[in-house]
Structure 1
Amino acid sequence: MHALFALVEPKLETINTIFTTSFRDLCRTVDDHWEDLVHCVETGVIPDIDGIEAVKDNLQRFLQPNPGRAEELRRIGKATDTPGWFKQIWPQLRAILANASGPFATVIPEIRHYIGPEVSLQTLAIGSSEAFLAVAYDPRDLNLYKVVGSDDVIEFLPVDDPEESKYLAQSWNVESGKKYEVVLTTRDGFWRYRLGDVVEIAGFDPRDGQPLIRYIERRNMHIRLANEVTTETQLCQVVDATSNLFGRVSEFCVSPDYRQAVARYAFIVELQGNAGANISVVPGALHDQLQKHNENYLNDSRIGKIGVPCVRVVQPGTFGDFREWKVKTKGTASGQVKVPVVVWGEADRAWLEERVMYDI
């Protein structure tokens, strides 16, 4: 529905989707359903789409036949392979607002392909259902935020210290370069609620002294098969280091793979475009990077406790469909659904494995 109503408006300037992955899903929707969407613009008829029954009549009142805009879109054509295609569709498009830090950074290259170099990608804030934590500090840096002063109390638990309240730091005595888990006390009743997000102090705003932070990872988001503990950040680093060998990674997650005598990591990967010419060497390259970033992984792999990872390439659009599946099955708002970097649940793993096209 967002894609359809966006295509109707030629003067569109800003798209706000909260997360980069949501915007990537919007890009894929325009790409995959181009002809159907243009036809809807032309006729002014909203199609029967699963899940909109309760609101379809209300939406229909706002969609009028627009054959002129439809003809304009057909002249532009489906130019998926052309960088900046969205600037042809919306010449006045200026900004995409979406959280692009942490694991959400993986899809940035694919987004850039759709929007081109002239449209800015801007992150807005770190927020949650529990509280509003921080706002973007520098539009040129997608992972730099300023902690906001609010009615909520924001404290910081050092990740290298014991998990005890006596080690909590306040915003005025955190240390630059140190990593902390965010702890909230809210006016709505949460008392020292552990948010689970780990941030690094990047400095302080000279105007009011509020801490500047970078999002690092979810605490305890890791995979462990032997004596190693490989964190979300390390997994993102090894995929980033090998992304060009894949061709280009759009989204990924990691799960344990017990199909062989020696357990190994399974990187479930959705690619942007075709597989790279050197994709056959990716498992070995991932193995080398994991050994480089994690000494315990290195030791365990050398003594045969962990095998060389496998790579399982899934169908295009799989992770977008996964989010939609979670919304439907869990009754969760779309803004709350994220694909975790590490997937342990049997149902989630089975759903993803059904969409594997081939293994490397």
Structure 2
Amino acid sequence: MHALFALVEPNLETINPIFTTGCRDLCRTIEDHWEDLIHCIETGVIPDINGIEAVKDNLQHFLQPNPDRAEELRRIGKATETPGWFRRIWPQLRAVLANASGPFATLIPEIRHYTGPDASIQSVAIVSSEAFLAVAYDPRDLNLYKVVGSDDVIEFLPVDEPEESKYLAQSWNVESGRKYEVILTTRDGFWRYRLGDVVEIAGFDPRDGQPLIRYIERRNMHIRLANEVTTETQLRNVVDATSDLFGRVSEFCVSPDYRQAAARYAFFVEIQGDPGADISATPAALHDQLQKHNENYLKDSRMGKIGVPCVRVVRPGTFGDYREWVIRTKGGASGQVKVPVVIWSEADRTWLEEHVMYDI
């Protein structure tokens, strides 16, 4: 529905999902359903789509036949391979406002391909159902936020100290360069509630002294097969370091793989466009990077306890479909569903395996 009503409006200026994944799913929807969406605009008829039964009549009231816009879109064509295609659809498109830090950063190149260089991508805030934590501090830096002063109490638990309340730091005595887990006490009744998000103090706003933070990772989001513990940040770093071999990674997650005598990491990867010419070298390259980033991984792999990772390339659009599957089977709002970097659930792993095109 967002794609349909967005295409109707030629003067659209801003795309504002919560996360870059929402924008990417919008891009995929427009690409995959281009002709159907144009037909809806031409006829003014909203199709039968699962989940909109209760609101379809209300939506239909706002969609009138628009053959001129439909013809304009047909002239533009589905130029998905052309950088900046969205700027031809919406000449006044100026910005994509979405959280683009942490695991959401991998989608930036794909979104830039659709929007072109003249539309900016800007992080807006770090928010959750529980509280409004921070706002973007510098539009040129997608992972720099300022902690907001509010009625909620925001405290910081150092990740290198025992998980005890006596080690909690307040916003005025956190240390620059140190990593903390965010702890909330809210006016609505949460008392020292652990968000699970780890941030690094990047400095302080000279105007009011509020901490500036960078999002690092989810606490305890890691994979362990032997004596190693490989964190979310390390996994993102090894994928970034090998991205040239892949071609261009849109989204990925990691899961344990026990199909061989030595357990190994399975990287489920969705690639934008064609795979890289050297993609066959990615398992060895990932293995090398994991050894460089994690001393225990190096030891265990040399002892034969961990095998060389496998790369499982999934069909285009898989992670968007995964988010829809999670909403449909487990409940929750679309803006709340994220693909975890590490997946342990057998049901989730089975679902992903059914969408694998080939293994490397």
TM-score band, normalised by shorter chain: over 0.9
Give secondary structure in 1 for the equivalent of 2:180: strand
Show the counterpart of 1:347.
347
Give secondary structure in 2 for the equivalent of 1:17: coil
Alpha-carbon deviations, 1:214-257, whole Å to 9, x = none? 00000000000000000000000000111110111000000000
Aligned length: 360
Q: Where do 1:7-46 residues align within 5 Å?
A: 7-46=7-46
In structure 2, what residue type is equivalent to 1:113?
H
Distance 2:246 2:303 in 1: 28
The alpha carbon displacement at 1:57 in A equals: 0.7
The alpha carbon displacement at 1:290 in A equals: 0.3
The alpha carbon displacement at 1:120 in A equals: 0.6
Alpha-carbon deviations, 1:119-147, whole Å to 9, x = none? 01011000001110000000000000000
The alpha carbon displacement at 1:23 in A equals: 0.4
Distance 2:275 2:14 in 1: 32
Among all aligned residue pairs of Structure 1 and Structure 2, give the percentage whose two residues are the same amino acid: 86
Show the counterpart of 2:69.
69
Show the counterpart of 2:115.
115
Show the counterpart of 1:227.
227
Distance 2:280 2:322 in 1: 26
Distance 1:215 1:255 in 2: 23
Distance 1:202 1:331 in 2: 36
Give secondary structure in 2 for the equivalent of 1:347: helix
Note the residue ranges of structure 2 that are not aligned, 5 or more in a row: none
Distance 1:260 1:54 in 2: 49
Q: Where do 1:263-342 residues align within 5 Å?
A: 263-342=263-342
The alpha carbon displacement at 1:50 in A equals: 1.2
Show the counterpart of 1:186.
186
Q: Which runs of 4+ in 1 moved over 2 A?
A: none
Distance 2:232 2:159 in 1: 15
Show the counterpart of 1:204.
204
Show the counterpart of 1:5.
5
Show the counterpart of 2:248.
248
The alpha carbon displacement at 1:71 in A equals: 0.6
Distance 2:335 2:256 in 1: 27
Alpha-carbon deviations, 1:75-132, whole Å to 9, x = none? 1011000000000000000010100000000111000000000001011000001110
In structure 1, what residue type is equivalent to 2:288?
D
Distance 2:330 2:154 in 1: 30
Give yes or no for the alignment of 1:90 onto 2:97. no
Q: Give TM-score scaled by structure 1 length.
A: 1.00
Distance 1:86 1:106 in 2: 20
Distance 1:321 1:61 in 2: 29
Distance 1:276 1:95 in 2: 29
The alpha carbon displacement at 1:157 in A equals: 0.2
Distance 1:116 1:177 in 2: 34
The alpha carbon displacement at 1:302 in A equals: 0.5
Give secondary structure in 1 for the equivalent of 2:174: coil
- What CA RMSD, in Å, does the superposition of the two structures yield over aligned residues? 0.4
The alpha carbon displacement at 1:274 in A equals: 1.1
The alpha carbon displacement at 1:19 in A equals: 0.3
Note the residue ranges of structure 1 that are not aligned, 5 or more in a row: none
